[in-house]
Amino acid sequence: MTVSPLARPFPALPPVAGVELRIARARYKTWDRCDLTFATLAEGTTVAGVLTQSRCPSPEVEWCRKALVLGNARALVVNAGNSNAFTGDRGRQAVEAIAARTAAHLGCQPSDVFAASTGVIGVPLPIDKAEAGLDAAFTAEACDWQDAAETIGTTDTYPKGASTTAIVDGHTVTLVGIIKGSGMIAPDMATMLGFVFTDAAVDPAFLQTALTAANTPSFSCITVDGDASTSDTVLAFATGKAGNAMLVDADSAGADAFAAALADLCRQLALLVVRDGEGATKLIEITVEGAESDRSAHRIAMSIANSPLVKTAIAGEDANWGRVVMAVGKAGEPAERDRLAIRFGTTQVARDGLAVSGYDEAPVAAHLKGDEVEIGVDLGLGDGRATVWTCDLTHGYISINADYRS
C-alpha cells in the first residue's frame, strides 16, 4: 500500500499510567497482520464517548451507547477487518461474547468493556475468531502506541497518533490518542474509530462535556467523501493516576486547561485522518465567515468540502472558483450573491458577486500546486464562522473503493 503523500510520521508518545496495550491476530481477514487491539484500564477509569448518528449503527455502537451511561471502563477491544454492522442478532451476540469473555478475564462487569469494530459491512463477526483472538491478546506481551494504531487500521496508509499535556491542580496530566480513518469519513459526531487516554482524574459527566465540546470543531469538521460510517466511535478514558483532584465541572481547578488540551488533541487526530483520505494528494482547509450563524457557516463549508466538482478541481490544480460559488448556493443556507467574496490562499478572486477587477490567476495556480490548499468565503451577512477540512478527489479514491472487498 502506497503511503499518503500527506502522511505524518508517527510521533514518540508517552505512556499513560493505568493503560496497558496488547495486540493479537484474530484473522478476521486473510491478511498477515494483527487485527485485534486490547487495552486494559485501571480500576476507577472513567469514560465518555461520541458515536455515529447513522440510523443503521453497528452492535458495537449500540453496546457503547448503553455502557457510556454508567461512566466506568476497564477494557477496550477493537477489531479491524470486519465492522460487524448490519448483522442482526448474530452481530449482537458477538459483542456480548467479547464483553463477557473480557469481563471474566478481568473480573469486572461486561458493561465495563467497550468494543469497536471496523471493516466490511454485512458480515457477522465470527465469535470463535473473536474469542481465540482475545485469548491470544490476554497473554500477549504489552505493546506500544504505534503497534496499537497500526492494528486498528483498515485502508489507512499510515498509523495515526498524537499527544499533549496540561497542568491540572498542580499536576502534569498526559493525553494520548490513536485514530484510524481514511474513507467513509463525514461524521456528525466523530470519525471512524478514535481513542483518547489520559491519566487525569475526571468525573465522567465532565469528561463527556469536554469531549462533546472538543468534537464540534474537530471530528465534526472533517470530511473525505461525504459518507458517515455505521461504526464511527470516539471514546475518551481517564484513569485518574495523575494525582489531581477530580475534575467535576468547569469550575474545578485546571478544568479549562484540560478541556483545551483535549480539544487540541482531537484537532490533531482529525487532521491526521484527512491527510490519509483515500487517494488524497492535497489537504484542503475551507473557512466560511460572514454567515448568519456559526451553524450556517458550517453547513456552507461542508457543502463546499463535499462537492465532487470542487474536490476534483483542486486535484487537477484548476482555479475554478465558480464551483465554490455553486457549492455555496446549493447549501440551502442564507447567502446573497452580490455580497459573496472568495479567496484561494491569500489571493482574492471574487468580491461583491463578481470576479475581482484585474484578477490574475497565476498566484492562485501556484497556490494550488502545493499540498495544502486554503479556500476562504465571506458571505457578508453576519458574524457566523466555521472552518472545515477535506482532501481532493482523485482516481486513487475510485481504485481503492472499487475493489475494497477483494
Q: What is the structure's pLDDT at 194? A: 95
Residues in contact with 368: Cβ distance below 8 Å, sequence separation at least 6, in sequence order:
314, 317, 318, 319, 344
Arithmetic mean of pLDDT over the chain? 92
Residue 264's pLDDT band, with cuts at 50, 70 and 90, is very high
Task: Please identify, in words, the CATH class of the domain defined by 283-402.
Answer: alpha beta
Binding residues: 154, 180, 191, 278, 401, 406
Dig out the grid coordinates for 187 from the structure.
461524521
**pLDDT tens across 22-39, in order?**
999 999 988 889 999 999
Instruction: Answer yes or no: same fold for 19-275 and 283-402.
Output: no
Give the C-alpha separation, 233 to 229, whole Å. 9
The active-site residue, picked from 164, 191, 230, 347, is: 191
Q: What is the structure's pLDDT at 395? A: 82
For residue 187, is pLDDT > 80? no
Q: What is the structure's pLDDT at 226? A: 59
Statement: the pTM of the whole predicted model exceeds 0.85: yes
Q: What is the structure's pLDDT at 382? A: 98
Superfamily of domain 19-275: L-amino peptidase D-ALA esterase/amidase (3.60.70.12)
Give the C-alpha separation, 85 to 91, whole Å. 7
Q: What is the structure's pLDDT at 288? A: 98
**pLDDT tens across 374-392, in order?**
999 999 999 999 999 999 9
Residue 224's pLDDT band, with cuts at 50, 70 and 90, is confident
Average pLDDT over residues 256-280: 94
**pLDDT tens across 76-123, in order?**
999 998 888 888 899 999 999 999 999 999 999 999 999 999 888 888
Dig out the grid coordinates for 84 from the structure.
460487524
Q: What is the 3-state secondary structure (H, E, C) of the chain?
A: CCCCCCCCCCCCCCCCCCEEEEEECCCCCCCCCCCEEEEEECCCCEEEEEECCCCCCCHHHHHHHHHHCCCECCEEEEEEEECCCCCHHHHHHHHHHHHHHHHHHHCCCHHHEEEEEEEECCCCCCHHHHHHHHHHHHCCCCCCHHHHHHHCCCCCCCCEEEEEEEEECCEEEEEEEEEECCCCCCCCCCCCEEEEEECCCECHHHHHHHHHHHHCCCHHHECCCCCCCCCCEEEEEECCCCCCCCECCCCCCCHHHHHHHHHHHHHHHHHHHHHCCCCCCCEEEEEEEEECCHHHHHHHHHHHHCCHHHHHHHHCCCCCCHHHHHHHHHCCCCCCHHHCEEEECCEEEEECCEECCCCCCHHHHHHHCCCEEEEEEECCCCCEEEEEEEECCCHHHHHHHHCCCC
Q: What is the structure's pLDDT at 139? A: 97
Of 170, 52, 129, nearest to 63 (Cα)? 52
Q: What percent of the chain has pLDDT over 70?
A: 93
Q: What is the structure's pLDDT at 296? A: 98
| Dihedral, CA of residue 204, residue 207, residue 213 and residue 214, to nearest 10 | -140
In the chain, what are the domain boundaries?
19-275, 283-402
For residue 401, is pLDDT > 80? no
For residue 222, is pLDDT > 70? yes
346 catalytically annotated: no
Q: Are 78 and 37 in contact (CB under 8 A)?
A: yes
Binding residues for substrate: 154, 180, 191, 278, 401, 406
Residue 406's pLDDT band, with cuts at 50, 70 and 90, is very low
For residue 2, is pLDDT > 50? yes
**pLDDT tens across 230-262, in order?**
768 999 999 999 999 999 999 999 999 999 999
Q: What is the structure's pLDDT at 149? A: 98
Q: What is the structure's pLDDT at 227? A: 59
For residue 189, is pLDDT > 70? no
